[in-house]
Amino acid sequence: MPSGVLVIGEVAQGRLAPITGELLGAGRRLGVPGPLSVLLVGPDPAPLAAEAAALGAERVYLAQSPALPGYWPELYLAAAEAALAQARPAIVLLGHTNIGRDLAPRLACRLGAGLAADCLELALEPASGLLVATRPVYGGSAQAEVVGRAGQLQMATLRPRAFAALEPDPSRRAEAIPLALSFDPAQAALQVKERVAEAVAGVKLEDAQIIVSGGRGLGGPEAFAQLVELAGLLGGAVGASRPPCDSGWVPAHYQVGLTGKLVAPDLYLAVAISGSSQHLAGCSEAKAIVAINKDPSANIFKVARYGIVGDYKQVLPALIAKVRELRGG
């Protein structure tokens, strides 16, 4: 009888990626009968078992990759299948990240499982114990609750930063279980030839607690220098709506929205962004949106907690000066 939750963890630069803690936190809070397990894949995942335990894992499946460090679909599929065969979970959770978005549908298809993608909330249906996942639909204009089928493995990908990790407790212990993998890199249909790391100065957009984002109303690439300055002062990251990316003012990976990054920071400062549904699909889970726009009827003000009606050319320098003053120079 399947029981418990299996989290497909992620490792970045030899540490647990923040999403792993968030998935474990979500798995713990669900209260599903059975153990909370996590799968860690990497060239040397064993030292991370204690960190995973501190974040709530009771069993840590360790898949040592012989291949390049990093994501390789067939390697992760083999590792996930090996972990599933041992853990026999009722529910599998992945991040709605580059890895999870690629791996989850492949795995769900192989296992004949139901998959709810980009979930913002999870609960259990009291009578059946089935997973009830809340996820955005129609580009984020509405949310739907989806329920798995009885007797079927239930899978979900969770939006980064939509779920809180548990407070780490180093006294928590987990059983570490090494997995034997039947993965032969030479036989893999997909060969990873090279990895090119995205050059990110400062905080990664998906992990940032504060994001300062700019839109077409900035009028050109020069104004982004002020956004970079403000984000630097606040310890945040810079994002953008689609037009500045399409116009080459900023790199494409700055884009927030339906076809860009999905972010859920504590503070999202939208500067000269109108608030299209496609943009809001990527940032509406922010705890607070603050908008600066010269058009009082701009849609962004409908979702903003605080709004400043004005020209960014006047508002931003004043804001930067005030933040500088509050930070003591």
Ligand X SMILES: Cc1cc2nc3c(=O)[nH]c(=O)nc-3n(C[C@H](O)[C@H](O)[C@H](O)COP(=O)(O)OP(=O)(O)OC[C@H]3O[C@@H](n4cnc5c(N)ncnc54)[C@H](O)[C@@H]3O)c2cc1C
Q: Which residues bind ligand X (CB under 6 A)?
A: 215-217, 241-243, 255, 257-260, 272-274, 276, 278-279, 282, 292-295, 298, 311-313
Are 153 and 113 contacting, i.e. CB atoms less than 8 angstroms apart? yes
Shortest reach from residue 315's CB to ligand X, in Å? 7
Shortest reach from residue 65's CB to ligand X, in Å? 33
Q: What is the largest CA-CA distance in the chain?
A: 64
Q: Which is nearer to ligand X, 152 or 299 (CB)?
A: 299
Shortest reach from residue 321's CB to ligand X, in Å? 17
Q: For tokens 């890199």, what's the residue? A: 185
Q: Which is nearer to ligand X, 64 or 278 (CB)?
A: 278
Q: Which is nearer to ligand X, 41 or 223 (CB)?
A: 223
Shortest reach from residue 260's CB to ligand X, in Å? 4
Shortest reach from residue 139's CB to ligand X, in Å? 8
Shortest reach from residue 255's CB to ligand X, in Å? 6
Q: For tokens 């936190």, what's the residue? A: 25
Contacts with 186 (C-beta within 8 Å, 6 or more apart), sequence order = none
Q: Which is nearer to ligand X, 100 or 257 (CB)?
A: 257
Of how many residues is the chain composed? 329
Are 245 and 238 contacting, i.e. CB atoms less than 8 angstroms apart? no
Shortest reach from residue 261's CB to ligand X, in Å? 8
Q: Which is nearer to ligand X, 108 or 292 (CB)?
A: 292
Q: How far apart are CA 34 and CA 232, in angstroms?
A: 44
* Strand pairing report for 131-137 and 36-42: unpaired
Q: How far apart are CA 108 and CA 111, in angstroms?
A: 5
Are 90 and 154 contacting, i.e. CB atoms less than 8 angstroms apart? yes
Q: Which is nearer to ligand X, 179 or 208 (CB)?
A: 208
Q: How far apart are CA 276 and CA 183, in angstroms?
A: 45
Q: To 10 degrees, what angle do helices 312-326 and 224-234 make?
A: 20
Query: Among 63, 54, 62, 45, which Cα is nearest to 21's?
Result: 54
Q: Which is nearer to ligand X, 98 or 259 (CB)?
A: 259
